[in-house]
Amino acid sequence: MIKDKQGTSSHNLFNIKADNRWEGEHIQKDTLEFELGAMIKKSAPFRAYQSLDESFNDYVSFLTNNDRYQDALENSGNVERFFRVYRKQAMRPIHNMPTK
């Protein structure tokens, strides 16, 4: 679990980044990003929560309100298929995503 510089937990169970849509607290953390065919070390903001419950509820909201994961959610009755589709979508670069 991501911790701040003082060792305090962010309660971010799912390592969701804090992009420009996120209005809550965040923790800056080094991460590896795949860009232009290479792994690059970067510092990125990750969401921070007050509790594990808040983290879990935000994750459910993140999935259900994100077009990127709708194909996976359509397979929620089949755990193996759900995770196969979820992983494929989660690893897909944002710039390759179709726009609506």
Catalytic site positions: 33, 58
Residue 5: strand, helix, or coil: coil
- First CA to last CA across the chain, in angstroms? 33
- How large is the C-alpha radius of gyration of the chain? 15
Q: In angstroms, rounded to a whole number, what is the distance separating the alpha carbons of residues 27 and 46?
A: 5
